């Protein structure tokens, strides 16, 4: 199992809550970036030549801001330099305001077989508050177009706990989204991240109270569950067989290589990030900032706090197979305490978060730091 991530940091404008490494770039800068990424893809290819790529993910930013021609060059490079599995999942994030029939057709023809569309809300009022560049109508149009072209694996991103959002309004958003029958839904609670516009204006936002925020979260699980979606990770829901394989790679800690500024990689037990500086990236000095060869301890910590994000939880046998130590020896007493606190439970032979455990998952994860 091996995955590739391509980071496309371009945006039409920055959403007010967003703390990802992204921004507004000129056409010249975009072209220079694509060239640098092509160079990086080629340079690194040799290192991964014995691996079969199972998933590819174009994230951002807004990857759909790439021109058809730029997209084609990037996909070409992937096919030429990497061994992509026949069943590879190739996902691309998309902003509804940045694609049309022509571009979607091109993407489809290039082999991109999964779309992840950032809708966030069906209320135009909220979309404007978030600084999104599109309306609901635009979204619906592009969604239907994508279906017509043939995309059969589509994710829709929605957000809850937005400023001024009521549970009732959120329920309507979910209903509308469900009526479109996407294969996958990512439902995130808004987090006010440091350095964002929202963080600077936190006082004026009228965010829902914690109780209401949790109500929305529970509502998501209930409604999507009833509609046949399974929650497989804290914020991710999918129809059977449509869990995002690329995302799972992160939780299951299989190897992945990231390309583009700030992109993170985990290969052969070493984590690193690419440089975050755009200009430096263009010079070709892309790797590696913050290289960390994971110690056995660090790997065990990750195994726990990433594995437990998945609703199916973790398998003690797998822990033993990976680290040669028993889960009980390393974490036995901590697990006992968390079980007694009602935050963890055994589901058959798997250890999982309880509903309350999900609510305070950071606290639970923290307990697994050695």
Partner 1 sequence: MDQSKIRNFCIVAHIDHGKSTLADRIIEKTGLLTEREMQNQVLDNMELERERGITIKAQTVRVIYKARDGEEYIFNLIDTPGHVDFNYEVSRSLAACDGAILVVDAAQGIEAQTLANVYLALDHDLDVFPVINKIDLPSAQPDFVKNEIEDVIGIEAQDAPLISAKNGIGIEEVLEQIVQKIPAPKGDPEAPLQALIFDSVYDSYKGVIIFCRIKEGRVKKGTKIRMMASGAEEEVVEVGYFGAGQFLPCEELSAGMVGYITASIKNVKDTTVGDTVTDADRPCVEALPGYKKVQSMVYCGLYPADGAKYPDLRDALEKLQLNDASLNYEPETSIALGFGFRCGFLGLLHLEIIQERLEREYNLDLVTTAPGVIYKVYKTNGEVIELTNPSNLPDPSEIDYMEEPVVSAEIMVTTEFIGSIMELCQERRGRYLGMDYIEGTRALLKYELPLNEIIYDFFDALKSRSRGYASFDYDIKGYERSELVKLDILINKEEVDALSFIVHKDSAYERGRKMCEKLKDEIPRRLFEIPIQAAVGGKVIARETVKAMRKDVLAKCYGGDIARKKKLLEKQKEGKKRMHQVGNVEIPQKAFMSVLKLDDK
Q: At what angle do helices 245-252 and 296-307 cross, to 10 degrees?
A: 140
207 lies in the binding site for partner 1 (CB under 8 A):
no
Which helix H or strand E contains 42, and what residues bound it? helix 27-45
* First-residue to last-residue Cα distance in the chain: 28
Q: In Å, how far from its chain's centre is CA 42? A: 25
Residue 47, preceding peptide bond in cis (omega within 30° of 0):
no
> Other C-beta atoms within 10 Å of 125: how many?
10
Q: Verify binding: residue 173, partner 1, rule CB under 8 A.
A: no
The tokens describing 176, both together, are 């509308």
Q: In sequence order, what are the residues at sequence separation of 6 or more whose Cβ sits closer than 8 angstroms to the Cβ of residue 145?
A: 100, 101, 104
Shortest distance, CB of residue 286 to partner 1, whole angstroms?
A: 16
Q: Residue 158 CB, nearest distance to partner 1 (Å)?
A: 12
Please report whether residue 264 would count as binding partner 1 according to CB under 8 A: yes
Given candidates 2, 5, 139, 242, which one binds partner 1 under the rule CB under 8 A? 5
Asked whether position 337 contacts partner 1 by CB under 8 A, the answer is no
Compare residues 101 and 290 and give the one whose CB is closer to partner 1.
290
Q: Identify which of residues 95 and 265 has a Cβ nearer to partner 1 in the complex.
A: 265
Per DSSP, what are the bridge partners of residue 272?
265
Among 104, 263, 300, 335, binds partner 1 (CB under 8 A): 263
210 binds partner 1 (CB under 8 A): yes
Q: How far is the CB of 253 from partner 1 (least distance, A)?
A: 8
- Does the protein bind partner 1 through residue 360 (CB under 8 A)? yes
**Binding of partner 1 by 341 (CB under 8 A):** yes
- Of residues 272-311, those binding partner 1 (CB under 8 A): 273, 290, 292, 298, 301-302, 305-306, 309
Token pair for residue 122? 């069906």
Using CB under 8 A as the binding rule, whether residue 139 contacts partner 1 is answered as no
Q: How far is the CB of 22 from partner 1 (least distance, A)?
A: 11
Unique residue bearing structure tokens 């990750």: 302
Nearest distance, CB of residue 349 and partner 1, angstroms:
25
Q: Which is nearer to partner 1, 63 or 103 (CB)?
A: 63
Q: How many chain residues are in contact with partner 1, going by CB under 8 A?
A: 44
* 237 near partner 1, judged by CB under 8 A: no
CB of 2 vs partner 1, minimal distance in Å: 13
Q: Which member of 59, 63, 208, 307 binds partner 1 (CB under 8 A)?
A: 59
Which residues inside 98-137 make contact with partner 1, applying CB under 8 A? none
DSSP secondary-structure letter at 310?
Answer: B
- Establish if 184 lies at the interface with partner 1 (CB under 8 A): no
The tally of CA atoms less than 13 A away on the side-chain side of residue 124 is 7
Give the separation between CA 230 and CA 106, rounded to whole angstroms: 31
Cα distance between residue 370 and residue 367, in whole Å: 8
Give the residue with the Cβ less far from partner 1, 143 or 365. 365
Cβ contacts of 46 within 8 Å, gap of 6 or more? none
Would you count residue 362 as binding partner 1 (CB under 8 A)?
yes
Which residues of this protein are in contact with partner 1, per CB under 8 A? 5, 7, 20, 59, 188-191, 210-211, 213-214, 234-235, 249-250, 256, 258, 262-266, 271, 273, 290, 292, 298, 301-302, 305-306, 309, 341, 343, 358-363, 365-366, 369
């Amino acid at each position: 199992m091996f995955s590739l991530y391509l980071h496309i940091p371009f945006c039409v404008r920055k959403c007010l809550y967003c703390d990802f490494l992204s921004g507004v770039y000129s056409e010249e800068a975009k072209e220079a970036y694509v060239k640098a990424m092509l160079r990086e893809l080629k340079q690194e290819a040799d290192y991964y030549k014995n691996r079969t790529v199972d998933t590819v993910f174009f994230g951002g930013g807004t990857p759909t801001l790439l021109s058809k021609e730029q997209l084609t060059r990037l996909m070409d490079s992937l096919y030429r330099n990497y061994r992509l599995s026949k069943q590879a999942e190739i996902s691309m994030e998309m902003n509804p305001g940045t694609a049309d029939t022509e571009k979607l057709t091109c993407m489809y023809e290039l082999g991109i077989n999964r779309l992840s569309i950032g809708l966030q809300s069906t209320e135009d009022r909220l979309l404007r508050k978030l600084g999104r560049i599109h309306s609901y109508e635009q979204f619906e149009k592009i969604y239907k177009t994508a279906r017509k072209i043939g995309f059969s694996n589509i994710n829709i991103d929605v957000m809850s706990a937005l400023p001024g959002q009521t549970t009732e309004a959120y329920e309507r958003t979910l209903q509308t989204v469900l009526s479109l029958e996407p294969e996958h839904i990512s439902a995130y609670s808004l987090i006010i991240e440091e350095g964002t516009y929202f963080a600077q204006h936190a006082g004026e936002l009228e965010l829902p109270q914690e109780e209401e925020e949790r109500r929305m979260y529970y509502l998501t699980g209930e409604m999507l569950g009833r509609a046949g979606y399974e929650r497989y990770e804290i914020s991710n829901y999918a129809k059977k067989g449509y869990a995002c394989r690329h995302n799972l790679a992160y939780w299951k800690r299989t190897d992945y290589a990231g390309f583009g500024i700030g992109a993170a990689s985990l290969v052969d037990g070493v984590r690193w990030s690419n440089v975050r500086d755009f200009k430096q990236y263009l010079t070709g000095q892309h790797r590696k900032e913050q290289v960390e060869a994971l110690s056995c301890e660090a790997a065990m910590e990750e195994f726990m706090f990433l594995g437990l994000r998945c609703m199916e939880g973790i398998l003690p046998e797998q822990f033993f197979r990976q680290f040669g130590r028993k889960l009980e020896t390393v974490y036995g007493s901590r697990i006992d305490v968390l079980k007694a606190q009602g935050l963890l439970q055994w589901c058959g032979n798997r250890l999982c978060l309880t509903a309350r455990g999900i609510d305070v998952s950071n606290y639970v994860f923290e307990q697994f730091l050695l």
